[in-house]
Amino acid sequence: MTDARLEVQEVTKRFGGITAISSASLTVSPGRLHGLIGPNGAGKSTMIGVISGFIKDFSGRIRFDGRDLRMWDPATIARAGISRTFQQATPIAGLTSLENVMAGMHVHHRAHLGSVLFRTPFMRREARAMRASAERMLAEFGLAEDAEADAIDLPFGKLRFLELARAIVMRPRVLLLDEPAAGLNPHETERLAAIIRAQVQAGVGVLLVDHDVPFVFGLSDQVTVMNFGSVIASGPPDRVYRDPAVREAYLGAPEQEAA
């Protein structure tokens, strides 16, 4: 794993007359977790969409491992080592849980069309290796018993973990998590936190967006707060938590908390 940093520099994104992001900057470093919080409509999910290539036509720069990602499509960005989850878990309909995870491996699939059509020994070996890796991932995420189940039929919590497994199996260097804890019960949230910590310890840079403030602050090395598209604070979690502008805009003013 190279020392690849993700740098968002003065990014602005408008949708018609609405400014979703205004001159926002942040950095995600290898082996560090950067939390991104803010009220609904602050621009957090738009930021993940811009970084991952799903949202285009923005100003500013996004650099990863020294390369400018501005004109790259989502597939190229994923192959470069940036994977993401979505707010709404979206399994591929008609595929099992195992097949959904294997689909996430496509960025590393080396067999060319001819080897697939003629089922060459190389293709068969690669397919076996992919299946074994996907099975290990499902077991690690508590989904082993659901390997052959139609993914679309999984309960909400398991769908969240399947979405995460599909992103992590891509072996990212930067992982973008969009509301991964939404709707999870306390036990599931603890398991999610352990999985995220393991990724960080393995050297992956993580950008975490979530409305569960204690969850984000408990995991983050750095926290950025957005409000109405602008960054209003950024720094270590304890300092950001005490920032008056943050408490006013998002966490609640001190007198409200006391009440």
Whether 7 is in a domain gets the answer no
The number of folded domains in the chain is 2
pLDDT reading at 112 higher than 60? no
Whether 6 is in a domain gets the answer no
Q: Name the E strands within the chain.
A: 6-15, 18-28, 33-37, 59-64, 67-68, 82-84, 174-178, 205-209, 222-227, 230-235
Q: Are residues 102 and 194 in the same domain?
A: no
Most confident of 39-43, 56-60, 168-172: 56-60
Helix axes 121-140, 156-168, angle to 10 degrees: 130
Q: How confident is the model at residue 233 (pLDDT cuts 50, 70, 90)?
A: very high
Give the CATH number, domain containing residue 235: 3.40.50.300
Q: Are residues 86 and 198 in the same domain?
A: yes
C-alpha–C-alpha distance, residues 78 and 174, integer Å? 10
Q: How confident is the model at residue 256 (pLDDT cuts 50, 70, 90)?
A: very low
Higher local confidence (pLDDT), 133 or 26: 26
Which residues span the domain enclosing 45? 15-91+155-258
Q: What percent of the chain has pLDDT over 90?
A: 67
The residue-averaged pLDDT of 30-36 equals 97
Q: Are residues 76 and 53 in the same domain?
A: yes
Q: Are residues 135 and 194 in the same domain?
A: no
Q: Are residues 210 and 126 in the same domain?
A: no
Whether 8 is in a domain gets the answer no
Higher local confidence (pLDDT), 2 or 170: 170
- Chain center to CA of 185: 20
Model-level pTM? 0.88
Q: How confident is the model at residue 234 (pLDDT cuts 50, 70, 90)?
A: very high
Whether 9 is in a domain gets the answer no
B/e letters for 140-173, b = 16+ CB within 10 Å, e = fewer, are ebebeebbeeebeebeebbbbbbbbbbbbbbebb
Residue with tokens 């994923």: 78
Whether 68 is in a domain gets the answer yes
Given 106, 137, 153, which residue is the final one in a domain? 153
Sign of CA dihedral 50, 56, 61, 67: positive
pLDDT reading at 118 higher than 60? no
Q: How confident is the model at residue 88 (pLDDT cuts 50, 70, 90)?
A: confident
Residue with tokens 């019960």: 185
Q: What three-state secondary structure class fits 35? A: strand
Q: How confident is the model at residue 9 (pLDDT cuts 50, 70, 90)?
A: very high
Q: Are residues 144 and 204 in the same domain?
A: no
Q: Are residues 139 and 43 in the same domain?
A: no
Structural contact between residues 192 and 168, judged by C-beta atoms closer than 8 angstroms: no
Q: How confident is the model at residue 226 (pLDDT cuts 50, 70, 90)?
A: very high
Provide the H-helix boundaries in 58-185: 74-80, 97-103, 113-117, 121-140, 156-168
Q: Are residues 85 and 182 in the same domain?
A: yes
Residue 182: C-alpha distances to residues 144, 166, 185 (Å): 22, 17, 9
Strands 82-84 and 67-68: unpaired
Whether 241 is in a domain gets the answer yes
Q: How confident is the model at residue 94 (pLDDT cuts 50, 70, 90)?
A: confident
Structural contact between residues 237 and 35, judged by C-beta atoms closer than 8 angstroms: yes
Task: Please tell me the predicted confidence (pLDDT) of residue 107.
Answer: 62
Residue from 195, 153, 154, 155 nearest 177 by CA: 195
Write the pLDDT tens digit of every residue in 135-193: 998 999 999 999 999 999 999 999 999 999 999 988 999 999 999 999 899 999 999 99
Q: Are residues 64 and 102 in the same domain?
A: no
Given 115, 130, 153, which residue is the final one in a domain? 153
Q: Are residues 144 and 218 in the same domain?
A: no
Q: Are residues 129 and 233 in the same domain?
A: no
